[in-house]
Each structure stands twice: as structure tokens, then as C-alpha cells.
A and B are shown apart, each in its own frame.
Chain A
Amino acid sequence: MSPELTDQTKKKIEEIASRYASKEAALLPVLHLVQHEKGFISQQEEKQVAHLLNIKPIKVKEVVTFYTMFNQKEVGKYHIQVCSNLSCSLLGSESLIDHLKNKLGIEIGETTSDKKFTLMTVECLGACEQAPCMMINFDYFGNLDKEKIDNILDNLE
């Protein structure tokens, strides 16, 4: 069971909720906040958030499972998300994904045993002018090739 949310986070949640005509509307921003603090959203956090926003836990689960950015299980320190949409695939994203799989020794959706990297593919990241591109946590990297990926990953601690 994960520990309670910090008082600071709870206070921030109250502040966010005050922007909306209904408390429930704060759900997405609040889940972002919780994920930022905890790394992923467990059932325990779903219940805590439901309680704080005065909604049913099932409402929180519906949202957590609908939106792909909410992690339902632990991800690595570096969450690599490679765009596999059209513009990126025209410029070779599939071979880059294979390269990453080989380099990290994991399949898409998996995390390395040292919990350093999680590899995912995503739909369009809105950076098609830099195709092929990827996100590591919230940082964008574009105009990728194998060497560039090696450089980026090798410089991550």
C-alpha cells in the first residue's frame, strides 16, 4: 500500500478544484499531480483522489483507464515513448523502435530489470516536423537516428 498523499499535494488539489463549477472537473489535473508525485496511479491513489474530490472510485478508474498518459503500473525512471504514427514511420521510426528494443533488451510495454527504462510506442506527439521523434518523460527529442538515440540514452544517469 502506498503512503498517503502529502499535505502539500492535498492543498494543491483543493486550489485546483476551486477553478471549476464542479469538483469532479479537477480530476485530470489532480491525476497528473498524483502521477508526478508517485510515478503511477495505483488503486490506493484512485481511492484517495475519489475521496478528496467527493466522487465514486469507479469514476476515477474510468478516467485512469481511458487516458493513455496515466500509468496504471510502475514505469522506469526514464519513460521512453516513440512516435509510430505516419510522418514518423515514413522517416524510419520502426527501425528505431527495433534498435531500442535490442539496446534495452525489452519489448514494447516492458521495463528494464534495473527499472531505469520503460519503452512504449505512442500515437502522434505533435512534432512531425522533427520526425522521427520521441519523448523521454516530458522532454521531446526529434530528428532521430540510431546514433542520436545512443547518445541520448548513454547520457542519462
Chain B
Amino acid sequence: MTDKILTQHFGLENLFKIDVYLENKGYEAAKKALTDMKADEILEEVKAANLRGRGGAGFPAGVKWGFVPKDIEKPKYLCVNADEGEPGTFKDRYIMTHNPHLLIEGIIITSFCVGIHTAFIYIRGEYEAVALRLEQAISEAYDKDFLGESILGTGFKLDVYVHRGAGAYICGEETALLESLEGKRGNPRLKPPFPASVGLFGCPTVINNVETVSNIPSIILNGAAWFCQVGLPKDGGTRIFGVSGMVKKPGIYELPVGTNLKEIIIKHAGGMMEGKKLKAVIPGGMSAPILTAEEIDISMDFDSLVEAKSMLGSAAIIVIDEETSMLDVLRRVTKFYSHESCGQCTPCRIGNSWINKIVKRMADGNGKREDLDKIIQLANNMMGKTLCPLGDAAAMPVLSIIQKFRKELESYIPLGN
């Protein structure tokens, strides 16, 4: 059996059409789940698979579903997070464009397991073409009785809608996503209560990333043991690694969880561009602390990256070469977070714009000796001191870049300043 779960059939022409999907075992997992399995059995299987959230946080999907109260009068909702805003990340676009029915099938099984009858796919606004493709696929699924009043005659009802965002990174944070879906500014909510108990419209809500949900059909068809064996026992399955930056072959590579980062860059992404030398790698989207060239001999799984004081995040790998100035990287990183802070928490709103102003001044050649320590102080003042993880997400790359490239950064400060 191939080790590819999500991109296995990507080579097929018109995979996005339901007929082609059906010819390749499409919707068989949904049939199995809805006709041969009880909700509890599905939940146990997904828990045993150790499917960890692919959006970035790595929370086990089965455990998350288990938090939803069972006997409750209120409706329950599924929100699929297709906001994909973490810089460097583009994997969900590939799944939704090439294999939209895999996502829909995952939505059906997830909803059946948790007792959900309405699901929303919250997709970033820029992906208009992708949203249209999803809507087309959803309409095909209704026509073939995979969605609607009584799916495959089982009496299980499910409606799925595509909901477009409008260009705000913060809406990838799950409670900001809920606010946005309710028609408001994307200001994250205070937790607890967690969305599993109080989510969309005050009702229990499951929020899972596109890639996470798309893994469900294979777990149902092939079993949790198989899924763990593809990846690692505590972190099952594959990841779609998105490689960008100074490599010969940027793109997506679906590989088992635990594949070595060096191997991904050199073997799969073709190594460095002609004449370029590796300087640093961001291993899990821009929020992930940076790794130096010496640190990339590492297993790409959640726990190994935490041990290396970085994170796997969305598995988006950004490769930086020797000629790139780390001050330039710092400028880009800090500009992004100062732009995307929602403004709700003072440490993040003020901290990010202040840091960005200092970095810009340094980039203009007017850095001062005390600047780097000031930035560290501001970043530390954001860590753990905001409602949502954006504060940490902004502080982590900044702190790691200064820690690992301090000498270089100091070299840009004019003597005597």
C-alpha cells in the first residue's frame, strides 16, 4: 500500500469530479461509517489513530470530538478551517483544488460521528476559484445523495456550506474564525469556554483543519493501526510538507510524519538553488522558531520539533540562503504580525508595531546598540500574555532569530550608535 493518503490520486485527470473520485474508492469510507459503524466506534478509531491537528496546534482530533457534549438540545456545528493564512502554507489549497470530495467525505464522517447536521467550510477570501470548486463538488455530492436530507437513505441529514473570509490572518485562530463566521470582526474569544461546548452561535462546535478532516476517510477504511504505522505511534499518518524559498523544486510533498527535514529539503525539494548555500529554515510556517543550517537533521513530527524548541505547525518549510540578510527576514516577519494583530490585546497590538518600527529603523541603517534587547523585552511581554496565540506566534520567530543570529544583526548597527 502506498504511503500517500491525501495526494495518492492527484495524478488522475479530473479527480475533482465525483465520477472519477467514485471510481477510486471514493465515498466508500462514508458508506462504511454510516451503514456499518456506530458513532462511538468511529470516535474510538480516530482516537486510536492519533490524528493530530494539521492546522498547527497538533491537538488530537479524536480527543477534540470527544469534548462535544452528547445529550444536548442545541444544534452542533462543524467548522472546517480552510483559512490557510500562515505564511509559507499552501497545502490545503492543493487538497481542495485537486481532491475536494475527499474533504467532503471527511466532513460527512466527522459530522455523523459527532451528531452534526450543519457544516461550514471557512475558506480564505483570496481562494475564490477554490471556493467555487468546492461549491461545485458539494453540489455533485447532493445530487448523488452523499449530502442532504437522508444521506444514502440512512436518515442522517447534513448540509455543507462554503463561507468565504475576507483577508484577515487572525481568522485562522479558531475563536476568531467563529466570530468572523457570525459576521463580526475577527477578534478571538476568551477561553474557556472552549468551542466544543460553546462555539458557533453559542452551540457546541468542532473546528478542524482541512488536512485533518481529509485524513478521516483513510482511517475509517484502513484502520487506526495502519494509520499509526504510516506515521509514528503517537503522531499518525502523513504530512503535506509545503516547501518554498531558495530550493530547486518548491512544492508540496506528502510524506510520513517523522520524515527527516534535511531529506525533505535535499532529496524531495531538489536541494538548494544553483549556487546558493543554506543558512536557515523555518520548519512550520512563519510562527515557528527558526532553525540554523546545523539544526535541520531532525524528524518532522510535533514532539521532535518541540524538543528542538521550534514547532511543526502547518509543516510549511521556508528555506533561506546565505545571501539573505537576517535583518531583512526579521523586517518581513515583524511587518506581517504588526499588520495582522487584531488589536484587541495591548501587548500584541502595541508590541508588534513597536518591534516593527525598531526593525525598520535598523534596516534603514539607524540601529542602536540597545535595540535588540528592547525587542527581546517587547517580545517577552507578548509571550503568554494575550487572549489568543498570535502574541506567541509573533514573539517566537523574533526571539529565535535574535538568539541564533545576534552577531549578524549587531553587524548592521553603525559603530558608535
Contact = CB atoms under 8 A, between A and B. Distances in A.
A69 B250 contact: no
A109 interface: no
Contacts of A152: none
A35 to B, nearest CB: 9
B84 A28 contact: no
A126 B90 contact: yes
Nearest to B200: A21
A85 B336 contact: yes
B87 A31 contact: no
Contacts of B203: 21
A63 B126 contact: no
Interface stretch (A5-13, A97-105, A127-135): A127-135
Contact of A126 (B85, B180, B185, B286): B85
A119 interface: no
Interface stretch (B41-49, B225-233, B240-248, B407-415): B240-248
B328 A68 contact: no
A32 interface: yes
B164 interface: yes
Contact of A29 (B85, B128, B164, B169): B164
Contacts, number: 142
Nearest to B269: A129
A108 B124 CA distance: 23
A131 B328 contact: no
A87 B318 contact: yes
Q: How large is the interface on B (under 10, 10 to 19, 20 to 34, 35 or more residues)?
A: 35 or more
Given A25-B181, A26-B183, A123-B339, A129 B243 contact: yes
Q: How large is the interface on A (under 10, 10 to 19, 20 to 34, 35 or more residues)?
A: 35 or more
Interface string B356-386: 0000000000000000000000000000000
B333 A63 contact: no
Nearest to B75: A21
Interface of B: 75, 84-90, 93, 124-129, 159, 161, 163-169, 180-186, 200-201, 203, 242-246, 250-252, 282, 286, 316, 318, 320-321, 324, 328-329, 332-333, 336, 339-340, 342
The 3 closest A-B pairs by CB, nearest first: A27-B183, A67-B166, A128-B244
18 contacts: A24-B184, A31-B166, A32-B125, A32-B164, A66-B185, A67-B186, A68-B168, A85-B332, A85-B336, A86-B282, A87-B244, A87-B318, A123-B336, A126-B84, A126-B124, A128-B87, A128-B90, A131-B245
